[in-house]
Structure 1
């Protein structure tokens, strides 16, 4: 097979004054720090990178090269394998791997803000010195763990931790040095964190704070030129407007997000936006448009590339979540039996680790049964909802409202 010499990489070696042997020494040193074992790169590896025989180095050498030259792989002339062009994520350190099970148990039994920060390693992000793409990878790993714990326990203890981590990353913006590529990646990470904090605030019943976080997420995504981050922020702002009863505004925001290039190109983003648009149309009274949006969401879901992993913030969006959002739309349209069927499907499909969503959709059948006058079944359903391991004011308020309503109702004969 014909190969093309990597002139960009060769130019970098000259610009930084590297010999092949000198580069190998630094690559192996950084590889040992990242992966916990000595690197094994040789002069031959460098020759193959320069000649183009190796178009995309293995992660063990690619991450050190990114750190050394402070630019993404493509800017070094490397060509990604397959459809994905994402930078590999650095592995957790050995100590983190050894303590992971203990940390997870600690998190579940002691979910205070201080515990969250320790478990997620939020205090390990540097706020001075040189910031590299390796650091960005670790930051994104921490945010991904934050999102995973939200799905497990809700937003209560995560809100303070997320807000503190935002402050730390903003300190990194001002206190660290970095290249333009790292700068954009850092703003993208901050946008993602703001979105996570917004959801935690929403789950904790703090709507005003949630709106501020979602607006800040949009601003950071714009600074990063992150189209996916912008679509995410717009979607969250639409959800927040709908929660506050501003349905027309929610529809306008949602439509704007759907017109973005990211929504047109990414079926996961499209599925989320169409699902939320369906709810918006339903609550605004446009039932035919709501039904079309439900269908569009399901169609987008069918186009998911299962070989391509979802970004951490979108991992919750699976067949279960699509069914759950469809149930909310059906409920808003007054189609209560359809809503109950879709909710049951969501609960059946939800993964065991999605405890927060299990409780969220677990309350919904009881609400639907109350609305249909099936009080006896609603009592049984509500009693089965387990929120003991959660910290979600939003879910607790809904369940409390159901129980309060049931105390004033008589079972249907």
Structure 2
């Protein structure tokens, strides 16, 4: 999701005026909105269903003239129709580029009209729903609709049809469309949480699995299908974890590891082990350590600093669950050292959430696991106001952890005020983990011996919000 002003940035305007989509993509990647570092080519290439080398040729070569590709990529990047030099199907004809400087209210009207035929991408849909307000039910379902909109944007509605309806044959284009849904699910999850996205992902996974078992395809398509299924299984497992349906996650991760090995794709094998380390950490911290170590071994020789950062963070948190302070310290030092090496064009899209705030957040969670609520509160306090808007679910999650840490420290009023600040966003982010942890904070505050006004206000407001 990008703001309307994004498209007014001079390099973007120049690229659009030049009718060169490759230059538009380059300006998109390098826009200041993306942060201190541009979006890597490998990440955007994954969105578009091409390789990094192909994207480099697109950005630096002659303008694309293939209309289908222009339309598909323009939709994936959510370029407003009125700024394009081509007409999108089922939308009003594109105006001349001279109209690009018209007032924002007119731009918004055009985009609203276009939205009827061209639904927003997941992050856009989530933010739009949040801004519109509306009924509680609508807000609780907007993230699921966002994921559906992502499928609609690709024109591939049959991904949600019954598994028994597998096509007779499957081509590479179909597999690429299916694979592109994984990134859309991750974007929607980062904003909105996983509760109903899990149901969608599980259904799409069943559909894609039926293709693998019932349809015919070439060897090349079969390998791509295995990779798409492994990636989707990892994403579905995460959604199960975040929606607090943890028992459902492990079968997906076991499948992902198997498929990644069949396809000889060590990247996905590593991601599955990283996810497994997270899944089993609380109940089986020793197994979590083994899973993180397996990820480290499998990524030897090709893993990027950001990937190594995440693996060491998983290791540190597992050591904390084991109350191994020295092991935790060593792993956190390695994680910070790798993080300071910066990003890479080879970073996997999955790693976008590995930010400085996430490093600090995992350290805070580890201190909580080691009963160091004071250090945990310091870590959470340092990040709750600086997490990017695109990771709204993480911001709310860590705000709840801050309330928990303050509650453990006996700072009842500050804990209640922190938790109170989360309530307005509770209907917008449907994460079972967040709701579970906030309920724990509510229970702790309700049992405190000092029934202060701030504590009573939060408990009453929480109970009312849950009843709605």
Task: Give the TM-score normalised by structure 1.
Answer: 0.72
Q: Note closer, same or farther for the CA distance 1:266–1:102 as it changes in structure 2 (3 Å cut).
A: closer
Please give the residue correspondences for 1:70-109 in structure 2 after superposition, counting only pairs within 5 Å. Answer: 91=73, 93=75, 94=88, 98-99=114-115, 102=120, 108=129, 109=138
1:85-125 CA-partner distances (Å, limit 9, x unpaired): xxx99625545995356565655446278735531217446
Of 365, 369, 386, the match for 1:332: 369
Of 363, 378, 389, the match for 2:400: 363
Q: What is the DSSP-based 3-state SS (H/G/I as helix, E as strand, rest coil) of the residue aligned with 2:426?
A: coil
For residues 351 and 112 of structure 1, the distance between their equivalents in structure 2, rounded to whole angstroms, comes to 20
- Indicate the structure (1 or 2) with the bigger Cα radius of gyration: 1
Confirm or deny that 1:293 pairs with 2:323: no
1:1-44 CA-partner distances (Å, limit 9, x unpaired): xxxxxxxxxxxxxxxxxxxxxxxxxxxxxxxxxxxx9xxxxxxx
For residues 392 and 260 of structure 1, the distance between their equivalents in structure 2, rounded to whole angstroms, comes to 31
Please give the residue correspondences for 1:150-299 in structure 2 after superposition, counting only pairs within 5 Å. Answer: 150-243=189-282, 245-262=283-300, 265-299=303-337
For residues 315 and 73 of structure 1, the distance between their equivalents in structure 2, rounded to whole angstroms, comes to 17
Counterpart position of 1:392? 431
Counterpart position of 1:351? 388
How far off is 1:79 after superposition? 12
How far off is 1:184 after superposition? 1.9
Please give the residue correspondences for 1:27-106 in structure 2 after superposition, counting only pairs within 5 Å. Answer: 91=73, 93=75, 94=88, 98-99=114-115, 102=120
For residues 240 and 353 of structure 1, the distance between their equivalents in structure 2, rounded to whole angstroms, comes to 24
How far off is 1:133 after superposition? 4.2
Aligned length in residues: 338
Q: What is the DSSP-based 3-state SS (H/G/I as helix, E as strand, rest coil) of the residue aligned with 2:389?
A: coil
Contact 1:113 1:161 in 2 (8 A): no
Q: Note closer, same or farther for the CA distance 1:125–1:270 as it changes in structure 2 (3 Å cut).
A: farther
For residues 412 and 391 of structure 1, the distance between their equivalents in structure 2, rounded to whole angstroms, comes to 29
Q: What is the DSSP-based 3-state SS (H/G/I as helix, E as strand, rest coil) of the residue aligned with 2:222?
A: helix
How far off is 1:394 after superposition? 1.5
Q: Note closer, same or farther for the CA distance 1:169–1:355 as it changes in structure 2 (3 Å cut).
A: same
For residues 236 and 351 of structure 1, the distance between their equivalents in structure 2, rounded to whole angstroms, comes to 22
Of 137, 150, 153, the match for 1:120: 150
1:142-165 CA-partner distances (Å, limit 9, x unpaired): 210111111111110101100111
1:221-241 CA-partner distances (Å, limit 9, x unpaired): 122211111011111112111
Q: What is the DSSP-based 3-state SS (H/G/I as helix, E as strand, rest coil) of the residue aligned with 1:353?
A: helix
Counterpart position of 1:319? 356
How far off is 1:352 after superposition? 0.9
Contact 1:376 1:412 in 2 (8 A): no
Greater shift, 124-133 or 334-343, is seen at 124-133
For residues 52 and 377 of structure 2, the distance between their equivalents in structure 1, rounded to whole angstroms, comes to 49
Taking only aligned residues, the RMSD between alpha carbons, in angstroms, comes to 3.5
Contact 2:186 2:235 in 1 (8 A): yes
Q: Note closer, same or farther for the CA distance 1:202–1:136 as it changes in structure 2 (3 Å cut).
A: same
Contact 1:116 1:158 in 2 (8 A): no
Q: What is the DSSP-based 3-state SS (H/G/I as helix, E as strand, rest coil) of the residue aligned with 1:268?
A: helix
Provide structure 1 residue ranges, at least 5 long, that are not aligned to the other structure.
1-36, 38-58, 67-71, 82-87
Q: Note closer, same or farther for the CA distance 1:293–1:221 as it changes in structure 2 (3 Å cut).
A: same
Q: What is the DSSP-based 3-state SS (H/G/I as helix, E as strand, rest coil) of the residue aligned with 2:384?
A: helix
For residues 169 and 247 of structure 1, the distance between their equivalents in structure 2, rounded to whole angstroms, comes to 33
How far off is 1:131 after superposition? 4.2
For residues 189 and 343 of structure 2, the distance between their equivalents in structure 1, rounded to whole angstroms, comes to 25
